[in-house]
Amino acid sequence: IRKRVLGIIALVAVRSQALSNAAARLLDDPSSDVRENARLALAYQAEEFPAPALKALGAASATTRQAAARVVSALAGKISISESEKKRAVNAMKEGISKAACPLRATLVAELAVLSKADAEAGILIGCLAAMTDRKQFSDGLVSLERLAPLSEGDAGNFLQTTQNPPLTERLRSAALQASTKLGIRTDLTLPHWEVHLNSSDSAIQEQALLAIGEMGPAANPALDRLRESLGRFDKHSWLGVLTAVTLARIDTTAIDFTRILVSALESENYHLGAKAVSLLPDHLALSVAGQALEKLPTEHTFAAVLSIGLLGDSAKELVPALKSLAIRQDRQLRFHLVLALLRIDPGSLTGSDLLDSVLVGGYYEQLLAAQIPEHALPVIEALAREGKGLLVRRRAQDLALEISR
């Protein structure tokens, strides 16, 4: 069997009619390994020589018909197929689905959807999801179900009822809810389930719930009371604490004094979490919070406000003059965050300034290399690599440009 499998693998070295015929003849081999490799080889050959695969759709063997149908599905749009051939392929796929066990059954439904979405039953795939406990299989099942999107109202209800109860673990239930948007399921149906996850003992699931509810905006208004309860359980400077405040603000700006909470977070040792949370707000709110932080924070914490502004990207251009006015300070940490923010917002604003030079030769060069700098900053850095003052500045600017290009 091993030699035969290796022989089949060799069939993908080149394409020819003879090799396509050879692969098709092995679709009904007694060995499952040989059959699977023959199907993959035929899919390769049939892209140029499809006749053997199309002929196999009418074979006496159900195994051959089903394998050929999977090949035709994989090549949908790449090969020409008549209506009668398509009908035979659809019937063969349906026959295979009726006999297969999960997770193969779910895979076949997804492949059938490529040939004929109308013939693919979402309910079968949803039933398979309920029986899957392996995370990889479950994730693949969700991807397969996306091919059938948008789900009908009945299938959407079935999906939520099936995937939001034991024996599925909390993580799998959360993954199913995350897929609901791609499946076309209405937010008012998923909101109650996300609210349940706010009380999870798993912080990763709590985070997913907060992010998902925040994305709903005002439509998540029914969750305000539960979110306020959650806020009281978290350390106000923890990630879940600031994320809860941001989630409340994304739903209703009057629900909480989120500006005070976020400015306070920027002043704490968890300032990076506060900056990340600010970036999740709608642009006008984020700019307001970041601007107030720049005004209100003590001098030693100004860098945290600058960090939060930099994360907003080019939407923060109106704050560039305020940022540039801080360049007179000699605080190395502040100057590093100023350079990083300006590279993200408006790289051209650094032209003619020694701000970038000072960071390249200062103590924050390694942090600059490791930072996420957008490609639109390359022209400014490449110009410094050519024309910068001093060999060290030019070399480090060149290294930074290479790092960004990667």
The candidate with the shortest Cα–Cα distance to 207, out of 172, 166, 238, is 238
C-alpha 87/C-alpha 263 separation (Å) is: 63
The pLDDT assigned to 11 comes to 66
Structure tokens at 110: 């997804």
Do 293 and 263 form a contact (C-beta atoms < 8 A)?
yes
The pLDDT assigned to 103 comes to 87
Regions in the chain scoring below 50 on pLDDT: none
Do 242 and 214 form a contact (C-beta atoms < 8 A)?
no
The pLDDT assigned to 178 comes to 94
Please count the other Cβ atoms lying within 10 Å of the Cβ belonging to residue 181.
15
The pLDDT assigned to 6 comes to 59
State whether the Cα torsion 181-166-230-205 is positive or negative.
Answer: negative
DSSP 25-85: HGGG-S-HHHHHHHHHHHHHHHTT--HHHHHHTT-S-HHHHHHHHHHHHHTBTTB---HHH
The pLDDT assigned to 5 comes to 67
C-alpha 75/C-alpha 48 separation (Å) is: 10
**pTM for the whole thing?**
0.79
